[in-house]
Structure 1
Amino acid sequence: MFLKYALDLRKSIEKYRRDLYELAKSKGIYDPEVKKIVKELDGKIMELKEVLSEIPR
């Protein structure tokens, strides 16, 4: 279960990164929409870190 969730998060993060790149390229890095996606991406990355820290080694 952890692995599937972690993989889904990873896919989501990659999509956010692609979207962020395209949006920043077209609107600039200071656009409010770009800043919103950056915050969402940060949240997803922190969530993935938390999930990965719970996986037994």
Structure 2
Amino acid sequence: MTFKPLKIGKYVIEKPIIQGGMGVGISWDQLAGTVSKEGGLGVVSAVGTGVYKNRKYL
């Protein structure tokens, strides 16, 4: 099975796979960045940001 690239404005997502926000410490910079580097669309969650990096920024 093959998928066509997804175009959003001037951006092209090579692999039309979107990692949605999962919140509470799961879909932050590391996961979203890795998904994006692999050609998908990584989404950073805004839920539970107070527990980022083991509550370092509380």
TM-score by length of 1: 0.30
- When you count strand as a share of all residues, which structure comes out higher? 2
User: Looking at both structures, which has the greater relative contact order when contacts are Cα pairs under 8 Å and sequence separation is at least 6?
Assistant: 1
